[in-house]
Every structure is written in C-alpha cells, then in structure tokens.
Amino acid sequence: NAGVTQTPKFRILKIGQSMTLQCTQDMNHNYMYWYRQDPGMGLKLIYYSVGAGITDKGEVPNGYNVSRSTTEDFPLRLELAAPSQTSVYFCASSYSLGGELFFGEGSRLTVL
C-alpha cells in the first residue's frame, strides 16, 4: 500500500527556473492538498482539490499552479522559482472533509 507518493525528494533550482512536484495517491481519496513547511514552522496550505477537475487556492498560492486531471494525481508547478520558495513541500490526501490527512514523505526544494 503506497499511500501518498511524492517525487522528487530533493531538488535544487536556480532562480527563475520552473519545475513540477509530482504527487500521486492510491487510496481513492477525493481531497488532495499541497502544503509547504518552512524551517521551524508548521505547514501552510498552498492549493487544494476536492476532486478531479476542481482546484482552489489556499493560504499561500502565489508563485504556484496546480491541476487535477485524475483522482490519483495532483502535481504542483513552480513557475519562475524564487529563494522564498525554498521549503519542504508536502502533498496530502484525505477521504472526507473531516478525515485525517495522509502526507507524502515531503520534497525538499532549495532555490539558489
């Protein structure tokens, strides 16, 4: 049972580059989320999705885009990377609105 899988686990970007963080879950969850965790802090919501074809902004969406073409996949796109986007990114999913969130292992991104 893979759960939530994120790739890559580590990545270094130069300022202005773009990249996509991949996230896939095999639990048939409707709800998926992208969070970022800055050093010593809790998580902040970037984008979320309540089902295929439906996405919406969270607390800190600027500089990111998402898509949800299937139930399983929820990629996060970084356009024109900036040093402020250096963080650990977590993808998560849940079966229901009130259910627990299952997190991927995180993707550590450094922008230099």
Partner 1 sequence: AQKITQTQPGMFVQEKEAVTLDCTYDTSDPSYGLFWYKQPSSGEMIFLIYQGSYDQQNATEGRYSLNFQKARKSANLVISASQLGDSAMYFCAMRALDNAGNMLTFGGGTRLMVKP
Is residue 88 a contact point for partner 1 (CB under 8 A)?
yes
Taking CB under 8 A as the binding criterion, the range among 12-20, 21-29, 50-58, 74-82 that sits at the site for partner 1 is 50-58
Which of 73/105 has CB closer to partner 1?
105
Q: Looking at 14-22, 27-35, 63-71, 73-81, which segment touches partner 1 (CB under 8 A)? A: 27-35
Q: What stretch of H or E contains 102? A: strand 102-103
Q: Is 11 in the site for partner 1 (CB under 8 A)?
A: no
Measured CA to CA, the distance from residue 11 to residue 91 in angstroms comes to: 16
Q: Is residue 106 a contact residue for partner 1 (CB under 8 A)?
A: yes
Q: Which residue has the tokens 């130069």?
A: 14
Secondary structure of the chain: what % helix, strand, coil (to 5)?
5, 50, 45
Strand order through the sheet with 4-7: 4-7, 19-25, 76-78, 64-66
Q: What residues make contact with partner 1 under the rule CB under 8 A?
A: 31, 33, 35, 41-45, 48, 50, 56-59, 88, 90, 92, 97-106, 108
